[in-house]
């Protein structure tokens, strides 16, 4: 039993470290920070578009934003005081709902800076990123590292 306890604790810590990725993505194929950005295939683009435009997904995104805002309001006096994880999640939800076929990754800092990376399909979508992110309470600055990449193939 004495040899099993450190092993179980080690497994738990390792699992926790692997599971705690502090990046919010609008699509499971969105590139991570520092990864090479590739244009999506037409099939990937269509699958992401169908998923993000479903009514169930839109309701889920709205509910996620509402729940995080309610939790923050209940726990703090300042409604603009958001954790980086909450900011990243809320911005990700906002971008996913309004740029449905983008492959974006969102990171946030304690100071309210949001960094958006990944790909969108056209310049109009790229120009929507900053104003959409600024709509989220607690976002002070937006850095857009996303690029326009038309579907390949």
Total number of domains in the chain? 1
91-150 pLDDT, tens digit each: 998 998 888 788 899 999 999 999 999 999 899 999 999 999 999 988 999 999 999 987
Q: What distance in Å separates the CA atoms of residue 91 and residue 136, rounded to the nearest whole number? A: 7
Decide: 101 and 48 in contact? Cβ < 8 Å.
yes
Residue 2 domain flag: no
User: Three-state DSSP class for 32?
Assistant: coil
Per-residue model confidence (pLDDT) at position 11: 60
15-72 pLDDT, tens digit each: 554 444 556 666 565 666 666 666 667 777 677 667 666 778 778 877 887 887 787 7
Residue 139 domain flag: yes
Q: What distance in Å separates the CA atoms of residue 110 and residue 31, rounded to the nearest whole number? A: 22
Residue 22 domain flag: no
Query: Which residues fall within 8 angstroms of residue 15, CB to CB, at 6 or more apart?
Result: none
Full domain range(s) for residue 67: 41-148
Q: Phi and psi dihedrals of 92, rounded to 5?
A: -60, -45
Residue 120 domain flag: yes
Q: Which pair of tokens denotes residue 26?
A: 């609008």
Residue 62 domain flag: yes
Decide: 43 and 117 in contact? Cβ < 8 Å.
no
Q: What distance in Å separates the CA atoms of residue 104 and residue 30, rounded to the nearest whole number? A: 5
Q: What distance in Å separates the CA atoms of residue 54 and residue 48, rounded to the nearest whole number? A: 10
Residue 97 domain flag: yes
Q: Phi and psi dihedrals of 114, rounded to 5?
A: -115, 130
Q: Please report, for the domain that includes residue 89, its CATH number.
A: 3.30.1340.30
Residue 68 domain flag: yes
């Amino acid at each position: 039993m004495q040899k099993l306890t450190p092993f179980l604790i080690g497994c738990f810590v390792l699992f926790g470290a692997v599971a705690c990725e502090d990046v919010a993505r609008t699509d499971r194929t969105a590139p991570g920070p520092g990864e090479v950005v590739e244009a999506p295939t037409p099939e990937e683009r269509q699958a992401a578009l169908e998923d993000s435009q479903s009514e169930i997904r839109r309701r889920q995104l709205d509910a996620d934003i509402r729940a995080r805002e309610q939790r923050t309001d209940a726990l703090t006096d300042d409604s603009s005081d958001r954790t980086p994880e909450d900011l990243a999640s809320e911005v990700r939800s906002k971008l996913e709902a309004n740029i449905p076929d983008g492959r974006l990754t969102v990171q946030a800092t304690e100071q309210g800076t949001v960094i958006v990376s990944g790909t969108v399909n056209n310049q109009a979508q790229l120009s929507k990123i900053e104003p959409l992110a600024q709509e989220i309470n607690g976002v002070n600055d937006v850095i857009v590292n996303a690029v326009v990449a038309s579907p390949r193939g």
